[in-house]
Homo-oligomer: A and B are copies of this chain.
């Protein structure tokens, strides 16, 4: 038998999905599983999007342009203007989810052996997409005791080599919920300028900033406009994960041209998804406000609840709909597995994402989990109760009752 590629062996399993078979097995035993593991919002997709899909009455479902439908890109440019992001339709390339945007950003700008620096914990699939490009991810730990603030600039500078080509951030952050401050963003800007790096900025959670602190886009930073590659997606803001519609936005003509070659090779992004995404831009203000308020309430409810459990600590996330919490356990990989395989409380259990998968430095995040607040408060209450009871029972518990 010919061998699987080394790359295929090295690819990490998704920390969000790898316990899936155990969740399925639990469900088959009749146990209800509360999914706190995945960023799949439970809030409704805008009605205007569903209706746009229902109204589709074309004879042929044909390829769209490789860069995406023009009318959608024009409307999207206006949406960005609402966030003071000064881009036009020609700066925007529609991609198959944010995933493809990150992949093509890396493929167009990084060669095998090139390095990017990412504060960790970070979205696990950045590493996967870097492996596709043959690039090396170097991480700098941010710490739960600092609320996952940006590590000091010196830590970045210490990692910079002649092969360093970029910095990747996610803001507001998945998995931590951290929102970078103006002075942190300025520090990133200065680094990018000093070393002439790409700044890959994943900003798919911009709608979800809860503290009144401003959302600062990479495109708000002056003097590095051509270094920025912005990653976006409709998945989270409109509960449209299934559409697979994202965007890559750049003012750098050379990168734009290069990305377009990858886009032409895959022909086009999904047609129906673009039609629905375009319609979503007309979602009424009270749709976004309702979603925002719901996450705001859940965030308070979840974080308060977590911090009331013995030995559990969560910083207060400023954005997105995740938190990384520390638990009084020996190994959160084992604990999350145990919850699905060996535990239930009142016929139910919880699935969380072990944080180890969001770190590349070995042993970091060993007692941390990522929790997504994509369940309603009743389910969050039930999940918190299950977590509390599980921690009383778990053999690997590290504090005494």
B5 touches A242 (CB 8 A): no
> Across the interface, which residues of B come within 8 angstroms of A226, CB to CB?
1
Q: Does A97 contact B (CB under 8 A)?
A: yes
10 closest Cβ pairs, A-B complex: A242-B271, A8-B258, A128-B265, A14-B264, A11-B261, A99-B266, A61-B242, A8-B108, A63-B241, A270-B270
A5 touches B244 (CB 8 A): no
The size of the chain A interface, using a CB distance under 8 A, is 87
Q: Nearest chain B CB to A180's CB is how many angstroms away?
A: 21
A40 touches B56 (CB 8 A): no
Task: Report copies per complex.
Answer: 2
Task: Contacts A128-B261, A271-B242 given; indicate if A110 touches B5 (C-beta within 8 A).
Answer: yes
Beyond A53-B54, A60-B242, 17 additional contacts (C-beta under 8 Å) are A1-B227, A2-B166, A2-B197, A3-B109, A4-B254, A5-B107, A8-B109, A11-B261, A14-B261, A53-B272, A96-B244, A96-B270, A112-B112, A128-B262, A128-B265, A242-B270, A244-B270
> Across the interface, which residues of B come within 8 angstroms of A333, CB to CB?
none
Q: Across the two chains, which residue of chain B brings its CB closest to A280? A: B61
B165 touches A2 (CB 8 A): yes
Question: B1, B12, B49: which contacts A261 (Cβ < 8 A)?
Answer: B12
Q: Does A17 contact B (CB under 8 A)?
A: yes
Q: Across the two chains, which residue of chain B brings its CB closest to A260? A: B13
Q: Nearest chain B CB to A96's CB is how many angstroms away?
A: 5
A58 touches B45 (CB 8 A): yes
Q: Does A317 contact B (CB under 8 A)?
A: no
**B-contact bits for A247-288, CB 8 A (1 contact / 0 none):** 000001011011101101111111111001000000000000
> Across the interface, which residues of B come within 8 angstroms of A154, CB to CB?
none
> Across the interface, which residues of B come within 8 angstroms of A50, CB to CB?
56-58, 61
Q: Nearest chain B CB to A7's CB is how many angstroms away?
A: 6
Q: Does A129 contact B (CB under 8 A)?
A: yes
B196 touches A1 (CB 8 A): yes
Q: Nearest chain B CB to A98's CB is how many angstroms away?
A: 9
Question: B58, B64, B258: which contacts A9 (Cβ < 8 A)?
Answer: B258
Assembled-state Cα–Cα distance A54/B166 (Å): 44
A270 touches B243 (CB 8 A): yes
Assembled-state Cα–Cα distance A42/B59 (Å): 9
* A91-135, CB < 8 A from B: 96-97, 99-100, 103, 107-112, 114, 125, 128-129, 132-134
B270 touches A111 (CB 8 A): no
Q: Does A328 contact B (CB under 8 A)?
A: no
Q: Nearest chain B CB to A294's CB is how many angstroms away?
A: 13
Q: Nearest chain B CB to A50's CB is how many angstroms away?
A: 7
Q: Does A202 contact B (CB under 8 A)?
A: no
Q: Does A44 contact B (CB under 8 A)?
A: yes
